[in-house]
Structure 1
């Protein structure tokens, strides 16, 4: 497959792994890159010494391209741009902040920069800042969100109709059919988060993976719409159901115990971020199988639709 995304990123397939804190590290990211996609290393955990070690491992585990994310709201190092540039990567996504903050420095250093956006206003602002492309994130996706979420079915074609840069679609992507739908709406690549959290190479505890596999399409909650801090979408648990009903003064404080959930398996210890697409994930699968089957189904889907509808009006 060749399009602007594969050419810009130097990858075989336009499939990007989401930059989830503590999760998007070398075991998962290298598996994605080795399978032909774009593995991403996170910085949102703030553990830059560990992240430096993870990037060093990436160079040992893969000879394929990989990138780094700068989640601006969660990174406190004033030299984060220098840190990323020094790692030798060529692709970076920026998120959770002003696209003007780092775009110029990153591009001056020769990196390709995509900014994550949840709205048309944010997309236009990022393009004006000079980004090379956008990750357009629908509200059905997991993780930290715009409190005024917009579904991908609305957001993707809206943004695509107003910008000329390439778009990576995020939110609701888990298979070849959803990838084909994203392309029909104007994307040239897709990003997978929840699907990758549940993969065999994901470092999270099997309790979290099992919860994703067991989840129904209605088993996520949208929290913190009125703050303080960002809104977020997560799996439904006793803790998150209580927050959904009653709200809370500081939901973000729950993440002080994140590692108890992420790697200890205590599903009530913190908040398990997840998208609605958890309701479509039926098994824990290796990354290579996920990506290969996604591409095969994508090709089958667009071919079948072409054959089915091309004669109309002929």
Structure 2
């Protein structure tokens, strides 16, 4: 089975790995690409010197397609475009900013560009800017969010009906049945974040991965409901208290590092989506992706046979 995403990006499995700050580096991204999907190296951490090292590593770790995310709000310097072009990156996702800012420069350099959107209005603006495709992000997903956004179930078919470019659905997707649901809604592929965060190749501390495995579907909070940026995170003592604040700020880098790689879960904001309630095991990336794609195709065949029967 092929989709517009597999054809356009040259991948076997229509899954794009989410560009999670400090997490989506060469270790995880190369595992995703080697498994037949699209690995993404992040820039949202702002640690461009470290990211340059990881981009160089990608050349040694995989010969499959991979890409880079440009989080415009967090990496406002346009020199990042020169960096992408210099390293011959063929696929870029842009997010957290105006799609008109970088799209033309990237496309003039032969780069395929997808923009992340949380609303129909944002999708139409991105298409007008000339993007090659969209990542349509439901509010149930983890990380930075439009606090007034809608769910993947609502947003995906809304956008698909209004645009002609390929659409990747993001938010609430971790396995074959959720992939099949996204394709049934009209998406050409999906993005996985929380499922990749809790994979064996994810660099975060085992305490975070186990917290995802142990969590229920109700164990997230949406922070900054009335401010920006909105953030969906795992419920901890800290984030449960933050939930009642009109405006919260991200903790400093030292505390982030203590949480991400030191396992201290209550010192910063551990991003994660509601789909963590459906994740019950830490598994290798290749197993997650192959099983998800096999089960997705099987479910779609079952539905087709039932409809024909």
* Matching residue of 2:239: 240
Answer with 81-90 or 99-108: which moved more.
81-90
Distance between the aligned counterparts of 1:217 and 1:3, measured in 2? Answer: 30
**Alpha-carbon contact 1:255-1:271 (below 8 Å) kept:** no
Deviation at 1:256, TM superposition (A): 5.9
* Matching residue of 1:67: 67
**Alpha-carbon contact 1:254-1:271 (below 8 Å) kept:** no
* Matching residue of 1:2: 2
* Matching residue of 2:22: 22
* Matching residue of 1:144: 144
Gap runs ≥5 in structure 2: none
Deviation at 1:77, TM superposition (A): 2.9
Distance between the aligned counterparts of 2:183 and 2:66, measured in 1? Answer: 22
- Match of 1:247, SS state, is coil
**Alpha-carbon contact 1:255-1:270 (below 8 Å) kept:** no
* Matching residue of 1:283: 281
* Matching residue of 1:126: 126
Deviation at 1:251, TM superposition (A): 2.4
Deviation at 1:249, TM superposition (A): 3.8
* Matching residue of 1:231: 230
Q: Which of 266, 269, 272 is equivalent to 1:271?
A: 269
Following superposition of structure 1 onto structure 2, how do residues 35-74 of structure 1 map, counting pairs within 5 Å?
A: 35-74=35-74
* Matching residue of 1:292: 290
Distance between the aligned counterparts of 1:273 and 1:197, measured in 2? Answer: 9
Distance between the aligned counterparts of 1:16 and 1:230, measured in 2? Answer: 23
* Matching residue of 1:94: 94
Deviation at 1:226, TM superposition (A): 1.1
- Match of 2:134, SS state, is strand
Distance between the aligned counterparts of 2:253 and 2:152, measured in 1? Answer: 27
Distance between the aligned counterparts of 2:141 and 2:134, measured in 1? Answer: 16
Q: CA RMSD in A?
A: 1.1
Q: How many residues align?
A: 309
TM-score (norm 1): 0.96
* Matching residue of 1:191: 191
Q: Is 2:297 aligned against 1:304? A: no
* Matching residue of 2:259: 261
Deviation at 1:255, TM superposition (A): 5.9
Distance between the aligned counterparts of 2:81 and 2:41, measured in 1? Answer: 14
Deviations 1:272-308 (A, max 9, x none): 0000000000000000000010011001101111112
- Match of 2:73, SS state, is helix
Q: Is 2:13 aligned against 1:13? A: yes
Distance between the aligned counterparts of 2:169 and 2:195, measured in 1? Answer: 14
Deviations 1:45-79 (A, max 9, x none): 11111111101111111000100000011114331
- Match of 1:16, SS state, is strand
Answer with 1-10 or 34-43: which moved more.
1-10
Distance between the aligned counterparts of 1:239 and 1:16, measured in 2? Answer: 31
Deviation at 1:252, TM superposition (A): 2.6
Distance between the aligned counterparts of 1:62 and 1:4, measured in 2? Answer: 23
**Alpha-carbon contact 2:221-2:239 (below 8 Å) kept:** yes
Deviation at 1:250, TM superposition (A): 3.2
TM-score (norm 2): 0.98
Deviation at 1:5, TM superposition (A): 0.8
- Match of 1:265, SS state, is coil
Q: Is 2:124 aligned against 1:108? A: no
- Match of 2:305, SS state, is helix
